[in-house]
Amino acid sequence: MIKSFISRVFGRGARQAAHPSKPVVYGPDKHHIRKELISRGARKTCEELQRAGHTAFVVGGAVRDLILGMRPKDFDVATSAHPDEVRSLFRRSRIIGRRFQIVHVMWGAETVEVSTYRAHFTKEAEEDKQDAHGRVLSDNVFGTQAEDAVRRDFTVNALFYDPVKEEVWDFQHGVKDLVARKLVMIGDAATRYREDPVRMLRAARLSAKLGLAIDPRTAEPIRELKHLLENVPQARLFEEILKMLLSGNAVACVKRLRELELHHGLLPLLDDALEDPATGPFAMAALEATDSRLRDDKPVSPAFLLAALLWGRVERRWHELEEKGQPSTPSLHSAMHDALDAQRESLAIPRRFDATMKELWLLQPRFLQRGGARPFRLLEHPRFRAAYDFFELRAQAGNAPTDVAKWWERFQEASGEEREKMLHADDGPKKKRRRRGGKRRAEAGAASPEEVAPGQDE
Ligand code: ATP
Ligand code: MG
């Protein structure tokens, strides 16, 4: 498909070199973007802006994805109109951001982000000027359309699509690079990474998502400059990591990160997860499972995936503490806290994920307890399903006993009577036994004293 696309695209007009201020313009016979694939909101926003005498284009990732035949996640619009002009044209719109203003235009459930052409890239949250490493921390400088193209990261992200005239405007050879399946940084790659080190992660993510090779001159400076990621605010780094993990191409992204040596040191979460021989296969299986759920349009839980990626650390520490003679459950609690604290020192996982992650971890040893009332109680736990999936995935990856995972599969489907027959004498890790009888025994109902291993059932 791409081959025939090349020959269609590279008609005579399209072959001429793009001048930074003069775009190559591709008509509908060349780019083959179907106008109907542009969201209604983005289309109407461009139409209105153009009717009022401004220029307006769909821009960035959406144009790139459409040319590649992929379904864009969202549609952004870039325009010559200033934010207050945009605001006055659309009844349902609001200006957001203080330092750099963009306008959100609402069409039913859809929100279209409209930005005025500008001369430099900015991330709203950041401070003015550059930091000591050359990172651009702010701008609010409006610019020309050509400047707006130059400030973008990769050539394939600098394409504009006019849904009225149905033309693609290309200032940076983006179409040519797309066709050649290359991810090329606009300008001098090293300088661009210094301005914004997150572009290194974006190179990994976008090349994986789009199946593009990273151009050697774009890839080469990363080795030298990867330490600059340490200066990026944690929240932004985490946001980008999460985008990778939930992109539907997590496995490919991680592979690219490793090729670029970006996973080392800076991203201990992944580093640790994938290089631990005991739990690495489980971390990888969790990434694969996430990709496959996303492919099937099923929901995924970031907390589940993060818990899986950190499990190696938790488990290692847990067993270390047990070996030092600490009882099992308190050891697991300390191990969880240690793992989260260690993680926070490098890449803080927002606290909103903590509760779910901890619950998934704490429920793991309970799958080993198949005696008495405990399997029934576990089955009723509100987080049972996720914890079972976690256990099952561990079993698949050789990190938990498969026979136990199979037992749980059968137990869930069995009738009440069958379940009673399935109960085991306790096969959880044996601990010092408490005095027989007492409260525990009463709780366990008909279970024999052997089945009641205290300290594991919380
Ligand atoms: P995705 O498919 O993940 O949405 P995207 O390229 O659209 O990929 P966004 O974060 O939505 O990524 O950014 C929209 C556009 O903004 C990009 O296509 C690019 O033109 C520009 N952009 C985003 N981040 C940067 C950056 N760090 N430096 C320069 N330009 C950027
Ligand atoms: Mg996007």
Question: At 59, which helix (H) or strand (E)?
Answer: strand 56-59
Give the span between the Cα atoms of 270 and 251, in whole angstroms: 11
397 or 135: whose pLDDT is higher? 397
pLDDT confidence bin for 321, thresholds 50/70/90 = very high
Q: Which ligand is nearest to the CA of 65?
A: 1
Ligand 2 center to 305 CA (angstroms): 23
In order of their start, the domains of the chain are: 1-180 (3.30.460.10)
pLDDT digits (tens, 9 = 90+) for 347-363: 778 899 999 999 999 99
Contact residues of ligand 1, CB 6 A cut-off? 60-61, 73, 76, 121, 152-153, 157, 196, 198-199, 202
Could you tell me which residues come within 8 angstroms of residue 320 by beta carbon, excluding any fewer than 6 positions away?
A: 335
Length of the chain: 458
Q: Which atom of ligand 1 is nearest to the CA of 74?
A: 4
DSSP state for residue 431 in the 8-state scheme:
-
pLDDT digits (tens, 9 = 90+) for 72-114: 989 999 999 999 999 999 999 999 987 788 999 999 999 999 9
Q: Ligand 1 pocket test: which of 111, 153, 249 has the largest number of ligand atoms within 8 Å of its C-beta?
A: 153
- % of residues, the chain, pLDDT over 70: 83
Q: What residues have their beta carbon closer than 5 A to ion ligand 2?
A: 61
DSSP state for residue 9 in the 8-state scheme:
H
pLDDT digits (tens, 9 = 90+) for 34-44: 889 999 999 99
Q: Which ligand is nearest to the CA of 74?
A: 2
Ligand 2 center to 265 CA (angstroms): 28
Query: Which residue's CA is minimally distant from atom 5 of ligand 1?
Result: 61
Give the span between the Cα atoms of 151 and 119, in whole angstroms: 6
pLDDT digits (tens, 9 = 90+) for 7-25: 444 443 343 444 567 899 9
**Structure-token pair, residue 5:** 């696309």
pTM over cut 0.85: no
pLDDT confidence bin for 235, thresholds 50/70/90 = confident
Ligand 2 center to 313 CA (angstroms): 34
pLDDT at 216 over 50: yes
